[in-house]
């Protein structure tokens, strides 16, 4: 059972379109079957038709995880006795959330019972996630991430052509937990936290008016990359919250083009049983992003 709340983006849209956007591996036939069986509930009422939905509607679906997420297979990028680095697909949260879906961590623990995540990625951001296989490694890695001794790099495709090839952006971010949204401004203000986001332009396409960026997070706040880039006028393609719907539709982007593609283990202090990871770099290829630009 999964419980979803309809966002403003899908106000007045068809139920099936909403569900297919939420679960990338969900087949349209599966939804029609669930409707026939009245396994979908909207605002407390079981339905059998592909109705129009509205912002704030509460939808409960009784569809198996296998049908929602597909025959899930872990994409292991690196593994040793102490850690595990996996490529998380978009559309699934690292840990439990209000959607009552099976988390990425739960799926990982079906194969690695003791594995625990050392950091998070947004639900719709794909890419590298580090898991510790034992408590000693977990404590070390949590500290290393906190002390910025593990650097995180991302690639993304944004709308527009940036004026400068590389830049370190500074701003101030406020998190509205009720709306699950953040806001960025340029000057300090009570309740706002300072954020630093560095980018480097990897490729641009004037005809498509898009750019491929490498991002390095100097600080790691909720939705930081997405909100910061949107704030400077270059939202990520496919971002339903901070992006531009007309542009997302133009590129047929069902999810945000944002990938956590590289980790650098720049240990400068004692790392005990993980000392062998010092100066190690783990990364994913992003050829599909290059081909889009």
Q: Residue 176: how many CB atoms within 10 A of its CB?
A: 9
Write out the DSSP string of 112-149.
-TT-EESS---TT-EEEEEEESSHHHHHHHHHHHHTT-
**CA angle, 271 as apex, 280 and 198 as ends, to 5°?**
50
Strand partners, 85: 78, 130
The model's pLDDT over 166-176, given as tens digits with 9 standing for 90+, comes to: 999 999 999 99
Report pLDDT for 103. 87
- Which conformational region is residue 207 in: left (phi greater than 0), alpha (psi within -120 to 50 degrees), or beta? alpha
Residue 20, strand partner residues: none
User: What's the mean pLDDT in 245-262?
Assistant: 93
Report in angstroms the alpha-carbon separations of 116 from 73, 95, 98, 133, 240: 18, 10, 20, 7, 29
Q: How many helices (H) and strands (E) does the chain have?
A: 8, 15
Residue 58 has pLDDT above 60, yes or no: yes
122 labelled catalytic: yes
Q: Which of 75, 80, 122, 176 is catalytic?
A: 122
pLDDT in tens, 11-28: 999 999 999 888 877 888
Tell which residue, 262, 289, 283, has the closest CA to residue 154.
262
- Angstrom distance (rounded) from CA 205 to CA 200: 15
Residue keyed to tokens 């102490």? 82
Q: What is the model's pTM?
A: 0.78
User: All domains of the chain, ordered by start, with CATH?
Assistant: 2-68 (3.10.290.10), 154-260 (3.30.2350.10)
């Amino acid at each position: 059972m999964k419980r979803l709340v309809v966002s403003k983006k899908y106000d007045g849209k068809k139920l099936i379109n909403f569900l297919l956007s939420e679960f990338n591996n969900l087949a349209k036939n599966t939804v029609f079957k669930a409707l026939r069986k009245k396994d979908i509930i909207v605002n407390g009422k079981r339905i059998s038709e592909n109705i129009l939905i509205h912002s704030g509607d509460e939808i409960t679906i009784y569809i198996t995880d296998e049908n929602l997420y597909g025959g899930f297979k872990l994409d292991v990028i690196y593994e040793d006795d102490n850690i595990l680095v996996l490529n998380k697909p978009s559309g699934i949260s690292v840990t439990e959330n209000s959607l009552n879906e099976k988390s990425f961590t739960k799926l990982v623990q079906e194969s690695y019972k003791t594995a625990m995540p050392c950091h998070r990625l947004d639900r719709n951001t794909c890419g590298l996630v580090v898991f510790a296989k034992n408590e000693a490694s977990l404590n070390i890695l949590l500290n290393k991430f906190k002390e910025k001794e593990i650097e995180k790099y991302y690639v993304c495709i944004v709308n527009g052509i940036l004026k400068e090839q590389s830049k370190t952006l500074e701003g101030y971010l406020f998190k509205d937990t009720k709306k699950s949204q953040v806001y960025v401004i340029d000057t300090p203000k009570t309740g706002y936290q300072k954020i630093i986001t560095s980018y480097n332009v990897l490729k641009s396409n004037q005809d498509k008016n898009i750019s491929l960026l490498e991002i390095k997070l100097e600080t790691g706040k909720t939705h930081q990359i997405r909100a910061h880039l949107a704030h400077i006028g270059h939202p990520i393609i496919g971002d339903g919250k901070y992006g531009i719907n007309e542009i997302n539709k133009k590129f047929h982007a069902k999810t945000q083009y944002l990938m956590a593609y590289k980790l650098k283990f720049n240990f400068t202090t004692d790392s005990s049983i993980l000392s062998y990871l010092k100066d190690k770099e783990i990364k994913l290829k992003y050829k599909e992003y290059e081909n889009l630009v």
